[in-house]
Chain A
Amino acid sequence: MKFKYTKNSISIDNKVLSKLDEFVIDFLGLLDKYCNYVVISGYLPILFGRTRGTEDVDVFIEHVDKKIFVSFYNDLTKNNYYFLNPEDENGLYEMLIENLGIRTAINDTIIPNIEMKFTKDDIDRFTLKNHVKILLNKKFSFFISPIEVEIPYKLYLGSEKDIEDALYLWDIFKKNLDKKLMNRFMNELNVSGEQYGIKI
């Protein structure tokens, strides 16, 4: 794998895009018109080549007012998306305010889907503020969580799948990561990856 890594961006050229990549790019192209966002969690190791499936792609969005959300809702529904939740746009917005996730997918499908949440605490807001721009094939771009946050957070979640995700990201990016930043989040979340070879 060849990539260009800076503090705020990762560029990958000549990547054969999967249908999951195309789904994410299409959705984020719509979302980007309305608010700041950051893709987190399981899609990230998959984006960088981990061979596992996922049912959903997790996205944090900044707090927006109801008018903006309704415009986004209308744009999505015009573009072949629907919400799995039975609530209308008013109910969906209420769910976001209550820090619940809402899920959208292409019409007549359930997986893959996008789960969106408002940022709710300091770590969410850090990932949104310090997002990393992904540039694929010099053509498609979107924003993801810093890898230095993602690895500790996956270790914190702690299932075998999450630990494997953390280890894969570490294997791919260990020469590029800001170890001081990653150590900060390891300490804040009180996790260690040493037993898995994640040594910072």
Chain B
Amino acid sequence: MELKFDKEKNFQERLWFLHHYSSWVKSVPNEVWSRQHADFINSLFLNGKNYSLSPEEYLNMVNAGKKVRNKRLGSRKVF
């Protein structure tokens, strides 16, 4: 199966946007960036009320994800 999605290029484009966005945030008053930001976050927050998983299903999902991540990272170095 052919897959033309370039993961690295996509990531670099996301980093470019991140720099572009952070430059904008730094250039405008707090009222401006935070109002747009709050609108975005609030829309996600409201959508959370439609979440379809039960607490048990949700915990199973996040714990499965953590197992994969911990396996990748190994135990954290303690210093």
List chain A positions with a Cβ less than 8 A from chain B: 1-2, 12-21, 23, 46, 49, 51, 53, 55-56, 84-86, 103, 109-112, 121-123, 156-160, 164, 167-168, 171-172, 188-190, 196-197
Main secondary structure of the interface of A (DSSP, over half): loop
Least CB separation from B51: chain A residue: A110
Contact B48 A110 (CB under 8 A): yes
Cβ-defined contact, B76 with A121, below 8 A: yes
Distance between Cα atoms of A17 and B11 in the complex (Å)? 29
A196 to B12, CA, bound (A): 9
Residues B1-48 near A (CB distance < 8 A) = 11, 14-15, 18-19, 21-23, 25-26, 28-31, 33-35, 37-38, 40-42, 44-46, 48
Q: How far is the CB of B61 from chain A (nearest CB, A)?
A: 10
Given known A-B contacts A111-B51, A123-B76, A18 and B41 have beta carbons under 8 A apart: yes
Known A-B contacts A18-B41, A51-B37; A123 and B79 likewise in contact (beta carbons under 8 Å): yes
What residues of chain B have their CB less than 8 Å away from a CB belonging to chain A?
11, 14-15, 18-19, 21-23, 25-26, 28-31, 33-35, 37-38, 40-42, 44-46, 48-49, 51, 53-56, 58-59, 62, 69, 72-73, 76-79
Q: Which of B25, B30, B62 contacts A172 (CB 8 A)?
A: B25
| CB-contact partner of B48 in A84, A112, A190, under 8 A | A112
Q: How far is the CA of A160 from the CA of B10 in the complex (A)?
A: 11
Q: Which residues of A contact B11 (CB under 8 A)?
A: 160
Measured CA separation A196–B1 after assembly (Å): 32
Task: Known A-B contacts: A15-B30, A49-B34, A84-B55. Give 6 more (CB < 8 A).
Answer: A18-B38, A19-B38, A20-B41, A121-B78, A122-B79, A156-B73
A103:B59 contact, CB within 8 angstroms:
yes
User: In the assembled complex, which residues on chain A have CB atoms less than 8 Å from the CB atom of B77?
Assistant: 188-190
Report the separation of the CA atoms of residues A73 and B59 in the bound assembly, to the nearest whole angstrom: 19
